[in-house]
């Protein structure tokens, strides 16, 4: 487990989240400040469990690339995500995001998770769809330390400790004070009156691209 110098008190922690960037492709910034007073919780991995509604998703291929470069570390539940599915045929997704110590605060942690808006069902008004992101739950996984049972309770988190992919660990949670109960993500929505135009343009683009590919194959292909 990653070692933290944080101490947790029964007063809990403060959790904040913020959406960065605009449009369909956003970043969810999560921050946690664990109370430095009280008994210690050293030698622990700190993570945030957040439930993402059907209107957003995490790209597992993008996440794998970020994890190889030690940028973002997270576990998706379930780990198979259909990135092409629209909002109305998708289900909720849970992400366990491992937080890193904040160099500017001895008992603070933070991490960024890339999230993407799913296509919504077209409407007549064309107004943006509103997707509500609920507050995250802060959980800890400790290797050698024993947390105070008065402050920390076992949490239902099916995820490994950081650095051990094959072993599910016992996670614990404490009460926390969210600065904002929900974040609202605005997702652009298509208009139903544009359906004919979209179909025509898509068909023309498909025919043009197929013709170019066929011409290239006929010109440069070896049919001997």
Which domain range does residue 218 map to?
Answer: 192-223
Please report the beta strands in 39-191, taking only residues with DSSP state E, as ranges in sequence order.
Answer: 44-52, 56-57, 74-77, 93-98, 100-101, 108-117, 129-134, 137-142, 153-155, 171-173, 176-178, 182-187
**Does 48 share its domain with 80?**
yes
**Does 166 share its domain with 213?**
no
User: Could you state, in chain order, the average pLDDT of each consecutive group of 10 residues for the chain (224 residues)?
Assistant: 43 82 91 60 78 94 92 90 92 92 86 93 82 88 67 80 73 67 82 86 95 90 69
Is 129 part of any domain?
Answer: yes
Is 105 part of any domain?
Answer: yes
Is 9 part of any domain?
Answer: no
**Does 140 share its domain with 83?**
yes
Whether pTM exceeds 0.75 = yes
**Does 120 share its domain with 207?**
no
First-residue to last-residue Cα distance in the chain: 60
CATH number at residue 92: 2.60.40
**Does 126 share its domain with 34?**
yes
| Domain tally, the chain | 2
Task: Give per-residue pLDDT as tens, 92-134.
Answer: 999 999 999 888 887 889 999 999 999 888 887 778 889 999 8
């Amino acid at each position: 487990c990653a070692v933290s110098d944080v101490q947790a008190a029964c007063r809990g922690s403060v959790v904040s989240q913020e959406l960065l960037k605009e449009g369909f492709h956003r970043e969810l910034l999560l921050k946690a400040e664990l109370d430095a007073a009280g008994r210690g919780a050293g030698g622990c991995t700190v993570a945030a469990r957040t439930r993402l509604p059907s209107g957003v998703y995490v790209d597992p291929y993008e996440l794998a690339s970020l994890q190889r470069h030690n940028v973002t570390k997270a576990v998706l539940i379930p780990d198979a995500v259909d990135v092409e599915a629209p909002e109305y045929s998708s289900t909720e997704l849970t992400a366990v995001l491992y937080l890193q110590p904040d160099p500017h605060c001895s008992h603070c942690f933070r991490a960024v998770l890339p999230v993407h808006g799913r296509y919504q069902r077209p409407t007549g008004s064309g107004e943006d769809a509103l997707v509500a992101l609920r507050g995250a739950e802060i959980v800890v996984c400790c290797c050698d330390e024993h947390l105070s049972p008065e402050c920390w309770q076992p949490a239902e988190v099916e995820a490994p400790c950081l650095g051990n992919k094959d072993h599910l660990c016992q996670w614990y949670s404490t009460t926390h004070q969210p600065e904002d109960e929900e974040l609202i993500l605005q997702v652009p929505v298509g208009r139903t009156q544009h359906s004919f135009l979209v179909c025509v343009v898509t068909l023309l683009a498909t025919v043009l691209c197929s013709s170019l590919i066929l011409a290239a194959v006929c010109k440069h292909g070896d049919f001997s």
